[in-house]
Structure formats: C-alpha cells, structure tokens
C-alpha cells in the first residue's frame, strides 16, 4: 500500500513556543486516518501545515512521494489536495449547486471565448458541469437543497456542502477539519457514514477530530498528538487501550 | 543647497507636519475606535474654518464665543450623523463608506451654494514672525502647531487615562464582549464620532488665518488626512503624529529640491508605497 | 418582462436619433457615457472592491486618445482602442500592487491613483497643463468627420453596446461566477483551496473594467472636442458610485438603471454643478437609509409589501 501523504519530522515554532516537535507519520492510500489530540496539542497547526496555509519551521511533507513542503494552498489544490475549514466556509451569496460548480473549477475549462459568444460547445460544457455538480450533491444526499442560498443553510446541510465542494475537486487527499463539530448525534452519524462510505471510496481522507467515539467507530487509523509530539500511531480501535493516550485524556468525558 | 536653507525647510516641515496632525486627528479617532472611514471629515474641517470667517470676521463675534459655537455645532452634527446614519450601517463597510462620501458631498455642495466661490480670508490673530538661528517661523503657524500638541496630548489622556477612553478601546478590540461587560457601545460610539467631528472642526478653525478659505479646501484636507493615517497606521494616534511630521518634512524638503507640484506627487507616491509594502502603516497592527 | 426589455431598449436607442432633437440626442449621448462607466465600475464593485478613482481611468483613456490624435497626428479611430489599452495597462499595474489589499485600503489606493493621474496631467504642458488640450478631432466615416450629434451618436452607441455587452457576457459566464467567490477574504481563501487563482481573476476583471472605461473615455473626449484635468475628477468617480448604489448592486441592470435615471435627471434639471451634486447626494442618502437594495429592488419591495398588506389586514 503506497503512502499518499508522508509527514516527516515536522516541527513548528512560533517565536519561543514549540507547537510541533518532530512529528512523523504516513497516510496510506484509502486509509481513513484521524489526527487526534486534546486542545492545544498542535493538531490544527499540523493540519494547516499539511494544507499549505504556512510552511513548517523544519521537516518535510510529501504527497505521493513528491516533496510539497511549503507549497501554498493554491498550489496544493492543483496537486490534488482539498480541505474544509474549521469554521464553515462557503460562498454565501451563491446557491448550493453554484458552490459545487466552483469546486469543479480545476476540471472545467475557462472557455472565455465560448462564454462571451455563448457558443454551443460552451453551453454543452456548462450543462456537463451542472450534471457533475448534481452528482456530487447526490452523493452527499443534499441534492434537494441545490437551489437554496448557501448563507441560509442550516449547519448540518452547510457542513455537508463544504465536503461536497472539496470532493468536487476530485482530490487525492482530502483534509477534513472536524467535520462533525457542532452537529447533533444524528447529523454527525450521517456525516461520518458518508465520509467512511462514499467519500473514502474516492480519495484518501485525513480528518482532525477530538471525539473519540467517532474516531474509534469510523476511522481505520489514528495519530494522536500531545503537546506537539506524537504519542500514538496505529489502529483507531487500539486508541482506548493505549496507556499514553488514556493518560493524555485523563478526565475527559469523551473517552467513555 | 545651503545648510540654512535646509534648516529652514526642516523647521517649516515640522511645523507644517504639526498642522497635518491637527487636520488628521479626528479621522484617526473615528477610524481607530469604530473602523469607520469618515469621508465627511474633510468637509467638517472646512466648515470649522468657514465658520470662523462667518462668526469672527463677518459677524464680529468675540473669538472665544465663535470657538464655543463651532464646538457645539460639531458635537450636535457628530451625534446626529452617528445616530441617524452610521449606527444603522454598522458592519457594512461599503455602505458606510459610500454614506460618508454622500454626507461629504452634501456638505460640500451646500457650502458652495452658501459661501460662494470667492476666497475668504481670516486676518491674522497672531501676526509676526519668530526668528531663531536664521530660521523664520510665522507665529500663527507656530501657535497652530502648539494647539496640535495640546490636542494630541489631550487625546492621549482621554484614550489611555479615562474610563471613557477605556470603554472606547474595549469597543475597538471586541465590541460584543465589551457590551456583555456592560459598556454602552452605542453611547461610546456617539461620543467618539462627536469628538472626531470636534477635532476636525477645530483643526479647520485653527488653520483659518493661515490659508485662504474656499469650500473646496475639504477635499485637500481629507486627502492629506488619508495619506497621514495610512502611512502612520489606521487608528494609531502615535502613528498619526509620526506620519504627520514625516510627511510635513518630506513635502517641505521635496518642494525645495523638486518644486511644489512634484513634492505633492511624491507624497502620494509615498502613500501608495506604504500600501504596497506595509499596508498596516508604520505603527498600525498587521 | 425581462426577456423583452433589452431588445426593446436597443430598438428605442436605434430609432431615437431619427425622432429626437439635437438636445435630446446630447442627453442620450451623455447618458450612454454614464451607463457604460457605471456598468464597468459595477464589475469591480461586485467583487467586493470599491473603486474611488474610476475617473482616473476615464481620464487616461481620454488623454491617450487626445495625445495620439492631436500631438502625434494619429487617426482618431485608433485613439479609441488606444484609450482602452492605456487604461487597461494602468489597471494591470495598479491591480498588481493593490488588489491584494482589501476593503478600505484598496479604495484609498485607487483614490490616490485617481488624484495622481489628475495631478500628472495638470503638471506638464505637453499634456495641456491646467488648461487642457482643445481641438480634439473626431473620427471620419468615409471622408466626413462625425461632426453632428446625429452622426456621433452612432459611434457612442456602438462603443456602449460593445462595452456593456462584453461586461454582461463576462458576468454571466463561468468567469463572472467565479469572481463572486472573491468577494470577501474568507471566501477567497476557500476559492484558493479549490484551485482558483484569485489574483489572476481579480486582475482580469479590473483590467477589463478599466479598458472599457478607457475606450469610452476616448470617445468622450472626442465628443467634448477637448480634454482637461477639470473634466474627469473625483466628483466624477463619486457620481458613478452614486449611480451604482442608487440603482442597486444586486443585479447587473441596477447600476445601469441608476446611471440612466440620474444622468438624464441631472442634464435636464441642473445647470449648476453644486445643485446637481446636492440632489444626487441627497438621493443617495435616502436610498442607503430607506431603500438599501436600490431602485432595481423597488418592484420586489412593493410586491412584498402588497402581499404582506393583503395577508395581514389592519386590526382595529
């Protein structure tokens, strides 16, 4: 099984604070991996580094063997990395369908000439794109909302839309930032069913999560951070039995 | 260029810089507290100057009375504008900006109609020139610079040493939290705007004897104020002071070497350079 | 109604010169100028960028055409695309420096740019200085210059239709839709994460907007038969903003409606600039406070009010 993502000795210092210290792990193709840790463990920092928001102080990131350390999010998008944001980020004034169409950007031609003169081939292209957008929406079960304004969506549907937009880019690696955060039990089960079902069939998924129940139940593997260091790297269902992880979360109710 | 000429240029530059500070202070305050760019600032400045002419010269009021009237009117205008226009648009920066442009256009056009295009002159209250070490300094300008110093000091004291100043800083930092802690943000906003208007009007009033007055002087004033607060850092009083002095000197030396028009363009170019290289200005927060 | 109004409008515009007196044609020409400039400004506004210096690009286009045809003897026909080219290039340069700034910073940078352009032309005699450059030639159609209002009207109409048509198509294509994703810093972040090159899109939109503005500026100078730094000032920029806001920013036709209505009103009623500015600004304030969606939103609001009135009759 080849590694889609290789994180090698990543360290991050913010001034005098060491947010991450020599974190290394791999995510294999098709593995649904969770990046876990208590608040302040450094998982958001690591996530942002992998997503290209800022470069690490030291270390290396490889995407399917190619060095992508320090590349911008825009460049990473072109290499097949897609992500969602911790705070729901959408294109508020556009409809659900139009949001996903923007996600398809990498796979559509600009066709400026065709657009200006509204040629037949342009119109056909637009129809094709709309089809593909609807297919992605259907995959996530939100096709019925396709003409609603993104700003007016309830949280559950909005979060599914963020995943749809990221999925539309047809990524190799999908980075999901706490996809179930803020959702009711029912909504979060629905989200995780989709992620561990349809979504993981199409790409490799790395998600940030601090809900142990979700990690244990839906993910294949887990990487646990504490104070910027990796303290566990293995099967997700082995988490609750690992002493270091239990100690790190001592007193946190989610372990139950 | 002789040392004496350079010295003269620098000295005049510093004093002009102080005048620029006087012009820009009101804008800094309103932006600093409420993040509102008050385009009408220049017109309030112009009205302050015009009212000195009308009250002190045309109607022969005693100077202190004229100043009192100007301050009262500025407070009233500031409160009215904040309550009637700014408050309803909080959060919509484009609408706020365009609204303040609208206010400035209304004031400007009314002023052209009321005062006419004929340039007005306010006779010098403090005629005479101070000569120190070969440098000639008109007393009127020095006095205005002195007023700038007083107002800056007063503003510092208000913002950093009073409860109302603390409330203002709290609102600037995080309005929601401030309100939860009991700060009446609407009232503080109203005070901030009123104060900004007063500073603008006083700025105009104090420079009235120095320049010749016409209703178009507001545009020049707002332009200069923008340049100053962008270079100094939007919302930073210290930045405004620093930038004012720097621009004053840049323009003065620039005029000596390149001529007045070119010095003007130089100042604009400095603003664009700051926007490109360090958008937060010298002392603004990133 | 919408499907028929554009062809209807075009039909009216084509028939107009045969029926109208020269003064009415003058008003129509000035309205076409305003409408084109405002539509171009809207392309930038809808991206979330408030340009406070669009007059600078009108001036660049105008001066480029005038310099070429008056000082360098180039054909006036070439002056028009030259105006667009110069304005477009300037926009490219300015955009590279400033489009990464958001909100007020961008607005002030463009404002400063507009003032610099005016100051520049005022400073040098070769560009006419404060007095400007008179004697601007108009293009000739098969030997005869387009001297009458009637003849010149067709040129203005052609440029307006082409310019607005281009802007319209750009907005309603994929390109235009993607521009909407750049409206705020957050959505721009999302756009970049799906691979949209934000800077390139913003620059392209800004350049097209300013190029169209510059072309029309060249035509404008040919209409006035002269150009000077006093013609296209900051007040021109604010006028365009007022037209756009009064018309309504939610749709392509809003700013055009605003420009049409206010310009026609202004030409008919006011000879003195101050009164015109006063009335425009007053209308702007009323719209901002009472009708935030602009004139184009009025039918919808009235319908909503009517519906509400029917659904909930007054209770005594």
Mutating which of B28, B88, B98 best tests the C interface, going by the most C Cβ atoms within 10 A? B98
Cβ atoms of A160 and A176 within 8 Å: the answer is no
Stretch A2-16: mean pLDDT? 86
Cβ atoms of A176 and A163 within 8 Å: the answer is yes
Cβ atoms of C170 and C176 within 8 Å: the answer is yes
- Residue C1 has a pLDDT of 44
Closest by CA position to C246, among listed C75, C29, C45: C45
Is the pLDDT score of C158 beyond 90? yes
Residues 6 or more apart in contact with residue C31 via CB below 8 angstroms: C259, C260, C263, C264, C267
Asked if A74 and C193 come within 8 Å (Cβ–Cβ), the reply is: yes
Give tens-digit pLDDT for A188-199.
999 999 999 988
Asked if C104 and B37 come within 8 Å (Cβ–Cβ), the reply is: yes
Is the pLDDT score of B27 beyond 70? yes
pTM of the entire predicted model: 0.87
Q: Is B37 on the interface with C (CB under 8 A)?
A: yes
Question: Per mean pLDDT, which range of B128-137, C26-35, C109-118, C183-192 is the poorest?
Answer: B128-137
Cβ atoms of C214 and C87 within 8 Å: the answer is yes
Give tens-digit pLDDT for A40-71.
788 888 998 999 888 999 999 999 888 999 89
Domain ranges, residue A235? 3-255
The enclosing H or E element of A248 equals helix A243-248
Cβ atoms of A102 and A94 within 8 Å: the answer is yes
Mutating which of A91, A115, A161 best tests the C interface, going by the most C Cβ atoms within 10 A? A91
- Residue C314 has a pLDDT of 62
Burial class (CB in 10 A: 0-12, 13-18, 19+), C38: buried
Tell the residue number behind the tokens 């008050």, with chain if given: B38
How far CA B44 is from CA of A13, B39, B40, B50, C282, in Å, comes to: 49, 10, 6, 10, 17
Alpha-carbon Rg for chain B, nearest whole angstrom, is 19
Helices within chain C (DSSP H only): 2-19, 22-45, 54-66, 76-98, 103-123, 149-171, 174-180, 185-193, 198-224, 234-247, 253-269, 273-290, 298-311
Give tens-digit pLDDT for A212-252.
888 888 999 999 988 888 888 988 888 878 888 877 776 45
Tell the residue number behind the tokens 């007040």, with chain if given: C235
Residue C148 phi/psi, 5-degree rounding, is -85, 160
Question: Per mean pLDDT, which range of A121-135, A142-156, C302-316 is the poorest?
Answer: C302-316
Please give the DSSP secondary-structure letter assigned to residue B174.
-
- Residue B105 has a pLDDT of 92
Which residue in the set C108, C241, C278 is minimally distant from B226, CB to CB?
A: C108
Q: What is the mean pLDDT of chain B?
A: 87
Stretch B37-64: mean pLDDT? 91
| Cβ-Cβ contacts under 8 Å, A151 against chain C | none
Asked if A72 and C186 come within 8 Å (Cβ–Cβ), the reply is: no
Q: What is the mean pLDDT of chain A?
A: 87
Closest by CA position to B29, among listed B146, B148, B206, B159: B159
Q: Is C178 on the interface with A (CB under 8 A)?
A: yes
Cβ atoms of C255 and C248 within 8 Å: the answer is yes
Residues 6 or more apart in contact with residue A180 via CB below 8 angstroms: A187, A188, A191, A192, A209, A211, A214
State the total domains in chain A. Answer: 1
C120: nearest CA partner in chain B: B265
Cβ atoms of C242 and C283 within 8 Å: the answer is yes
C112: nearest CA partner in chain B: B268
In angstroms, the CA A170 to CA A193 distance is 19
Chains interfacing with C (3 or more CB pairs < 8 Å): A, B
Q: Is C289 on the interface with A (CB under 8 A)?
A: no
DSSP letters spanning B225-263: HHHHHHHH-TT-HHHHHHHHHHHHHHHHHHHHHH-HHHH
- Residue A256 has a pLDDT of 45
- Residues in chain C whose beta carbon is closer than 8 A to a beta carbon of chain B? 45, 48, 50, 52, 97-98, 101, 103-105, 107-109, 111-113, 115-116, 119-120, 122-123, 234-235, 238, 241-242, 245, 274-275, 277-278, 280-282, 284-285, 288-289, 292
Give tens-digit pLDDT for B92-124.
888 888 999 999 999 999 998 888 888 888 887
Q: Is C180 on the interface with A (CB under 8 A)?
A: yes
Grade residue B199 by pLDDT with cuts at 50, 70 and 90.
Answer: very high
C167: nearest CA partner in chain A: A116
Residue C209 C-alpha, separation from nearest chain A C-alpha, in angstroms: 15
How far CA A42 is from CA of A95, A226, B118, B234, in Å, comes to: 35, 7, 68, 33
Instruction: Please give the residue that has the higher pLDDT: either C282 or A241.
Output: C282
Stretch C60-86: mean pLDDT? 92
Is the pLDDT score of A173 beyond 90? yes
Asked if C119 and B101 come within 8 Å (Cβ–Cβ), the reply is: no
State the total domains in chain B. Answer: 1
Stretch C120-126: mean pLDDT? 83
Grade residue A120 by pLDDT with cuts at 50, 70 and 90.
Answer: confident
Instruction: Please give the residue that has the higher pLDDT: either C31 or C184.
Output: C31
What percentage of residues in chain C have a pLDDT greater than 90?
45
Stretch C175-199: mean pLDDT? 90
Closest by CA position to A82, among listed B45, B134, C191, B282: C191
Mutating which of C52, C105, C271, C282 best tests the B interface, going by the most B Cβ atoms within 10 A? C105
- What is the complex's ipTM, to 2 decimals? 0.87
Stretch C39-58: mean pLDDT? 93
User: In this structure, what CATH number is given to the domain that contains residue B219?
Assistant: 1.10.3470
Tell me, yes or no, whether B187 lies in a domain.
yes
- Kindly compute the dihedral angle of the four CA atoms of residues B276, B281, B282, B283, in this order, to the nearest 10 degrees: -150
Helices within B35-115 (DSSP H only): 41-52, 63-81, 93-115
Asked if C180 and A93 come within 8 Å (Cβ–Cβ), the reply is: yes
Domain ranges, residue B94? 19-277
Residue B285 C-alpha, separation from nearest chain C C-alpha, in angstroms: 14
**Helices then strands, each counted (H, E), chain A:** 10, 10
Cβ atoms of C37 and C218 within 8 Å: the answer is no
Asked if B102 and C288 come within 8 Å (Cβ–Cβ), the reply is: yes
Is the pLDDT score of B274 beyond 80? yes
Grade residue B130 by pLDDT with cuts at 50, 70 and 90.
Answer: confident
Angle of CA points B127, B133, B137, to nearest 5°: 25
- Residue A166 has a pLDDT of 94
Is the pLDDT score of C108 beyond 80? yes
Give tens-digit pLDDT for B236-272.
889 999 999 999 988 888 888 887 777 887 888 888 8
Which residue in the set C52, C115, C288 is minimally distant from B268, CB to CB?
A: C115
- Collapsing DSSP to helix, strand or coil, C150 comes out as helix
């Amino acid at each position: 099984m080849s590694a889609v993502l290789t994180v090698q000795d990543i360290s991050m210092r913010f001034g005098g604070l060491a947010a991450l210290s020599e974190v290394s792990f791999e995510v294999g193709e098709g593995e649904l991996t969770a990046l876990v840790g208590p608040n302040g463990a450094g998982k958001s920092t690591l996530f942002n580094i992998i997503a290209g928001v800022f470069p690490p102080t030291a270390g290396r990131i490889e995407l399917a063997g190619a060095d992508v350390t320090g590349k911008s999010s825009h460049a990473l998008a072109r290499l097949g990395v897609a992500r969602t944001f911790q705070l729901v980020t959408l294109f508020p004034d556009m409809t659900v369908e139009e949001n996903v169409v923007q996600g398809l950007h990498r796979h559509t031609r600009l066709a400026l000439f065709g657009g200006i003169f509204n040629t037949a081939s342009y119109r056909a292209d637009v129809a094709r794109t709309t089809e593909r957008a609807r297919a992605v929406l259907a995959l996530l079960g939100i096709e019925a909302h396709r003409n609603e304004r993104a700003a007016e969506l309830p949280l559950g549907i909005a979060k599914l839309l963020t995943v749809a937009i990221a999925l539309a880019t047809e990524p190799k690696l999908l980075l999901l930032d706490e996809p179930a955060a803020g959702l009711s039990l029912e909504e979060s089960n629905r989200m995780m069913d989709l992620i561990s079902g349809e979504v993981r069939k199409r790409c490799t998924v790395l998600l940030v999560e601090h809900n142990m129940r979700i990690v244990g139940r839906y993910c294949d593997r887990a990487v646990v951070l504490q104070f910027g260091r990796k303290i566990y790297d293995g099967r997700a269902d082995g988490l609750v039995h690992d002493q270091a992880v239990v100690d790190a979360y001592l007193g946190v109710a989610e372990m139950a | 260029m002789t040392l004496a000429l350079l010295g003269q240029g620098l000295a005049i530059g510093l004093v002009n810089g102080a005048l620029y500070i006087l012009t820009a202070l009101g804008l800094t305050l309103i932006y600093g507290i409420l993040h509102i760019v008050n385009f009408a600032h220049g017109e309030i400045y112009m009205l302050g100057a015009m009212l000195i002419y009308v009250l002190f010269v045309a109607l022969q009021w005693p100077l202190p009375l004229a100043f009192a009237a100007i301050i009262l009117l500025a407070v009233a205008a500031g409160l009215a504008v904040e309550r009637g226009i700014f408050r309803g648009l909080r959060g919509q920066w484009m609408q706020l900006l365009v609204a303040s442009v609208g206010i400035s256009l209304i004031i400007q056009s009314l002023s052209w109609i009321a005062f006419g295009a004929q340039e007005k002159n306010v006779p010098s209250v403090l005629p005479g020139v101070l000569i120190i070490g070969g440098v000639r300094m008109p007393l009127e300008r020095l006095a205005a610079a002195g007023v700038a110093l007083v107002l800056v000091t007063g503003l510092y004291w208000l913002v950093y040493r009073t409860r109302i100043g603390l409330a203002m800083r709290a609102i600037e930092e995080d309005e929601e939290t401030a309100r939860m802690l009991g700060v009446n943000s609407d009232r503080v906003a109203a005070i901030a705007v009123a104060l900004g208007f007063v500073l603008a009007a006083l700025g105009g009033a104090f420079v009235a004897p120095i320049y010749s007055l016409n209703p178009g002087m507001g545009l020049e004033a707002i332009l200069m104020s923008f340049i100053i607060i962008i270079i100094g850092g939007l919302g930073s009083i210290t930045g405004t002071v620093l930038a004012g002095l720097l621009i004053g000197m840049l323009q003065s030396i620039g005029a000596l070497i390149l001529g007045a028009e070119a010095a003007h363009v130089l100042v604009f170019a400095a603003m664009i350079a700051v926007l490109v290289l360090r958008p937060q200005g010298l002392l603004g927060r990133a | 109604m919408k499907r028929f109004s554009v062809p209807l409008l075009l039909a009216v515009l084509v028939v107009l010169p045969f029926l109208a007196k020269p003064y009415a044609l003058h008003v129509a020409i000035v309205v076409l100028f305003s409408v084109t400039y405002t539509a171009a400004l809207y392309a930038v506004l809808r991206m979330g960028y408030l340009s406070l210096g669009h007059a600078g690009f009108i001036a660049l286009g105008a001066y480029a055409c005038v310099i070429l045809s008056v000082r360098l003897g180039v054909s006036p026909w070439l002056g028009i695309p030259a105006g667009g080219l110069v304005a477009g290039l300037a926009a490219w340069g300015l955009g590279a420096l400033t489009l990464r700034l958001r909100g007020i910073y961008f607005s002030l940078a463009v404002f400063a740019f507009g003032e610099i352009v005016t100051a520049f032309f005022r400073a040098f005699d070769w560009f006419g200085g404060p007095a400007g450059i008179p004697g601007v030639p108009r293009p000739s159609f098969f030997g005869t210059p387009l001297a009458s209002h009637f003849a010149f009207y067709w040129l203005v109409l052609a440029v307006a239709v082409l310019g607005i048509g281009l802007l319209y198509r750009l907005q309603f294509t994929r390109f235009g839709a993607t521009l909407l994703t750049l409206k705020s810093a957050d959505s721009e972040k999302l756009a970049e994460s799906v691979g949209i090159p934000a800077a390139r899109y913003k620059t392209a939109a800004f350049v097209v907007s300013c190029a169209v503005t510059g072309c029309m500026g060249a035509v404008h100078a040919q209409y006035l038969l002269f150009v000077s730094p006093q013609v296209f000032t900051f007040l021109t920029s604010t006028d365009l903003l007022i037209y756009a806001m009064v018309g309504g920013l939610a749709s392509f036709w809003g700013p055009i409606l605003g420009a049409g209505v206010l310009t026609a009103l202004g030409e008919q009623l006011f000879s003195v600039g101050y009164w015109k500015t006063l009335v425009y600004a007053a209308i702007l304030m009323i719209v901002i406070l009472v009708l935030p969606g602009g004139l184009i939103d009025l039918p919808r609001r009235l319908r909503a009010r009517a519906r509400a009135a029917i659904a909930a009759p007054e209770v005594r």
